[in-house]
Amino acid sequence: MNYQESIRRCVCIVYDPSRSSQGVLALKALKLTDSFMDLYRNNGLTGEKLREKKLSWVDIFEEIPIKVSNSALVSAFMKELEPESPVTQCDFDRLKLSTAPFMERNLEFLIGCMDDLSSEQNKFQYYYRNLSRQQSQQQAWLQKRRQENMARKAAGEEPLPEEDPSNPIFKPIPEPSRLEGYLVTNQISSYCNHINGVAGQNFNRLYLMKALHED
């Protein structure tokens, strides 16, 4: 947030070495969306504000397309370094059938994120329980005050106000921020996409190897 506010055209470059070891250059460029930055700047990450702006967890980050290119001199130098064989080690890496370390690591991260998400949900359950308890107390107090006012009116006295700001039960309970929950949900989605992508590639390799063995 600080970088994006102070540096023009600022992006966050994310590199995944474990996925790159599978023969795929895993690079991402991300930036915060303007709508999220406005809400975060104004401390508006509450349920009411998020619903009003129709902002969900998918609207936090915006992915910027990346194009990797080299200068003509570097391209010529890389051409000189290429082996005579048309097949490179990167090509062999793409055919590896074992992706257990990558899958295992992502599943571990996914389990950790699920625990974090459960913890965030417990915070909101505690908040809504307290809110429901406070509303019940307010209704009981209001009913009692109305009965008192009816008795005072019958006695010819002035009725008392039906709200008492000094009473603790009328003090609003602050709603927890949705930021952590949104970020964890975004992280879960990212891990699921990684797992789905690698699993799909593995099935393609397995079908390819099966066809080669049959031939």
Residues 61-107 pLDDT 10s? 899 999 888 888 988 888 887 766 666 666 656 666 666 677 788 88
Pairing verdict, β 61-64 and 27-32: antiparallel
Sequence-ordered strand ranges (E) for the chain: 12-15, 27-32, 61-64
Counting residues of the chain whose pLDDT is more than 70, the rounded percentage is 90
* Residue 31 C-beta-side C-alpha neighbours within 13 Å: 14
**Are the CB atoms for 30 and 64 separated by under 8 Å?**
yes
What is the token pair recorded at 177? 């921020």
In the chain, DSSP finds a helix count (H) and a strand count (E) of 8, 3
* 111-141 pLDDT, tens digit each: 999 999 999 899 889 989 999 998 898 888 8
Predicted model pTM: 0.62
